[in-house]
A and B are shown apart, each in its own frame.
Chain A
Amino acid sequence: MDPLVIENLAKRYVTRQRGEKKAVWAVKDLTISIPHGAIFGFLGPNGAGKTTTIKMMMGLTLPTTGNILILGKSQTSPSARAGIGFLPENPQFPPALTAQEVLAWTGRMMGMEGETLKKRVDALLARVRLNEVRHERIATFSKGMIQRLGIAQATLAKPALLILDEPLSGLDPPGRQMVTEILKEAREEGCTVFFSSHILSDVRALCDEVGLIVGGHLVKKGEIEAVFNLSGDDSPASLDQRFSEIIHTRA
């Protein structure tokens, strides 16, 4: 079975406008299956339903209808999350804690302990270039440092599935390159990666397959070249242009 299977997923929110109830579908009829060891890019403009989908995958929001199977288990089961590394969009850590404390705590929550945990924390802090500030409080960290800490805590327990919401946002070019390398290394170790983005050039550099979500509907899925009709020499600017065109057509 594929590590991530989503079937007919839908989420409806009920809002009130001038006293009248109005139903809004944030996600509708979403079906995706990600094979083992793949990097899947979940693309879409702001408000397309990417984060809502990810929140449903992590059990943070309950679906209105549909099923999500993570590593063969329902997403609501805590044991399913034992195999997942998760990075939310703009991660927030307790500002009073240090980077080392956050990673040690994450490890304990994931069932790691002792020397194994200590070695892994040391290795990851060095990998995301936070070793020098490991004992400093997160309140003093920049946005990029917090994002790198987020990547470290997501990959700490060497999960079978990584679910990342906009993992490259807030990073400078070296930071983006570092995260890209970490994700590629994770794939080489057999990890399946699902990540959302609205930056086509990032996705192109990483993904085996992409899905495009617009207005809560999955409108295209496949290899990025086929989905966006790309040629080999497209510049980042022309990629963005192509992305916008497709979104406007589909919207």
Chain B
Amino acid sequence: MRKILALSRITFLQGVRSRVFYTLLFFAGLLVLSTVVLNQMTVGDPTKIIQDLGLATLSLFSLLIILFIGAQIIGKDMETRSIYLILSKPINRAQYLLGRFLGLLSLLYANMAAFSIIILFILFLYSHTVKWSLLLSVGLTAMEMAILLAFLLFFFTFMTPTIAPFLVLSVFVIGHTTTEVKAIFAQKEGFYHLFSMALYYVFPNFDILSIQTEVVHNVPIPARHFIYGIGYGLALIILILILTHLVFRRKDF
């Protein structure tokens, strides 16, 4: 475990010191702060706009961290062969995968935590109450991002560093549309029906992990929905990481 933590710590440092990270941080901060300006220009409940835009920014920024910083770190490992210096240490390949996964996850979650605090603070300035239920939505988004991160590692075991991030983006888009696609083609027969069913069952269903609308509009979220989402996410992460290891353990460098 100490070796996994040593690798994840180095991964975190690599991410934090990346120029891309600061650029993303700047634009994400700008977007969150823009909610304050937007509130002056719109009619209606200002807290809803802050929540909507804040949560959307948090999700987008987290995805960009995976696509740019995650891909940069893992891609460099594979492309510049810096992985030689890691795998030549007394660790097995599963430990490498876990070390990198946990390091990137800690980077991701540290940022999500910081942004959540900022959104809660801005909300507090408007409503003078702390809306803790917002963290339920953040929690499930965190699970979604961990799934995407596991997919990133998986794609990097057999794809080039240029293609792997695009595949992760595809999983993100498909994962958010499979329910709708399935509903649209439910009444159809033949190829389209089969195709929509295949998409629905092969790809993760991120709608299970999306409760942003309910949270923003103060719709009560049953505890079992949240627990199911966490369980679904954890099961998927474990499955993807096992698949990744099965491919990666026999990979020749």
Q: Residue B212 at the A interface, CB < 8 A?
A: no
Which residues does chain B contribute within 8 Å of A93, judged by CB atoms?
82, 85
Which residues does chain B contribute within 8 Å of A111, judged by CB atoms?
90
Are B89 and A110 in contact, CB atoms less than 8 angstroms apart?
yes
Which residues does chain B contribute within 8 Å of A101, judged by CB atoms?
10, 13
Are B88 and A60 in contact, CB atoms less than 8 angstroms apart?
yes
Which residues does chain B contribute within 8 Å of A81, judged by CB atoms?
88-90
Q: Residue A142 at the B interface, CB < 8 A?
A: no
Are B90 and A60 in contact, CB atoms less than 8 angstroms apart?
no
Are B84 and A88 in contact, CB atoms less than 8 angstroms apart?
yes
Which residues does chain A contribute within 8 Å of B88, judged by CB atoms?
58-60, 81, 84, 86, 88
Are A82 and B2 in contact, CB atoms less than 8 angstroms apart?
no
Q: Residue B111 at the A interface, CB < 8 A?
A: no
**Whole-angstrom CA separation of A109 from B87 in the bound complex:** 10
Partner of B85, one of A55, A61, A153: A153
Are B90 and A62 in contact, CB atoms less than 8 angstroms apart?
no
**Whole-angstrom CA separation of A108 from B82 in the bound complex:** 18
Q: What 0/1 pattern do residues 137 to 154 of A give for CB contact below 8 A with B?
A: 100000000000000010
Chain A: minimal CB distance from B21 (Å): 10
**Whole-angstrom CA separation of A153 from B14 in the bound complex:** 18
Chain B: minimal CB distance from A61 (Å): 5
Which residues does chain B contribute within 8 Å of A59, judged by CB atoms?
87-88
Q: Residue B217 at the A interface, CB < 8 A?
A: no
Are A82 and B90 in contact, CB atoms less than 8 angstroms apart?
yes
**Whole-angstrom CA separation of A55 from B6 in the bound complex:** 24
Smallest Cβ-Cβ distance to A61: which chain B residue: B252
Are B87 and A108 in contact, CB atoms less than 8 angstroms apart?
no
Q: Residue A92 at the B interface, CB < 8 A?
A: yes
Interface size on B, residues (CB 8 A): 28
**Known contacts A88-B84, A92-B80, A94-B76; is-contact A106 B89 (Cβ 8 Å):** yes
Which residues does chain B contribute within 8 Å of A88, judged by CB atoms?
81, 84-85, 88
**Whole-angstrom CA separation of A62 from B87 in the bound complex:** 13
Q: Residue A78 at the B interface, CB < 8 A?
A: yes
Measured as residues with beta carbon below 8 angstroms from the partner, the interface class of chain A is 20 to 34
Smallest Cβ-Cβ distance to A108: which chain B residue: B6
Number of inter-chain CB pairs below 8 Å? 81
Q: Residue B146 at the A interface, CB < 8 A?
A: no
Q: What 0/1 pattern do residues 1 to 28 of B give for CB contact below 8 A with A?
A: 0110011011001100110000000000
Q: Residue B34 at the A interface, CB < 8 A?
A: no
Which residues does chain A contribute within 8 Å of B252, judged by CB atoms?
60-62
Which residues does chain A contribute within 8 Å of B95, judged by CB atoms?
78
Q: Residue A228 at the B interface, CB < 8 A?
A: no
Q: Residue B91 at the A interface, CB < 8 A?
A: yes
**Whole-angstrom CA separation of A84 from B87 in the bound complex:** 12
Q: Residue A123 at the B interface, CB < 8 A?
A: no
Smallest Cβ-Cβ distance to A113: which chain B residue: B2
Are A96 and B2 in contact, CB atoms less than 8 angstroms apart?
no
Are A94 and B90 in contact, CB atoms less than 8 angstroms apart?
no
Are B89 and A97 in contact, CB atoms less than 8 angstroms apart?
no
Which residues does chain A contribute within 8 Å of B170, judged by CB atoms?
none
Smallest Cβ-Cβ distance to A60: which chain B residue: B253
Chain B: minimal CB distance from A87 (Å): 9
Smallest Cβ-Cβ distance to A111: which chain B residue: B90
Q: Residue B162 at the A interface, CB < 8 A?
A: no
Within 8 A of B (CB), among A71-104: 78-82, 84, 86, 88, 90-94, 96-97, 101
Smallest Cβ-Cβ distance to B73: which chain A residue: A94
Are A96 and B89 in contact, CB atoms less than 8 angstroms apart?
no
Are A105 and B6 in contact, CB atoms less than 8 angstroms apart?
yes
Partner of B92, one of A78, A91, A110: A78
Q: Residue B224 at the A interface, CB < 8 A?
A: no
Partner of B18, one of A78, A96, A110: A96
24 contacts between A and B (CB under 8 A): A60-B84, A60-B88, A62-B250, A62-B252, A78-B95, A81-B89, A86-B84, A88-B88, A92-B84, A93-B82, A94-B10, A94-B73, A96-B14, A96-B17, A97-B13, A97-B17, A105-B7, A106-B85, A108-B6, A109-B3, A109-B90, A110-B90, A111-B90, A137-B17
Which residue numbers of A lie inside 8 Å of B, CB to CB? 55, 58-62, 78-82, 84, 86, 88, 90-94, 96-97, 101, 105-106, 108-111, 137, 153
Given contacts A105-B10, A109-B86, 15 further A-B contacts (CB under 8 A): A60-B84, A60-B88, A60-B252, A78-B92, A79-B90, A81-B89, A88-B84, A92-B80, A94-B82, A96-B14, A97-B14, A106-B85, A109-B3, A111-B90, A137-B17
Closest 4 CB pairs of A and B: A96-B17, A86-B88, A82-B90, A109-B89
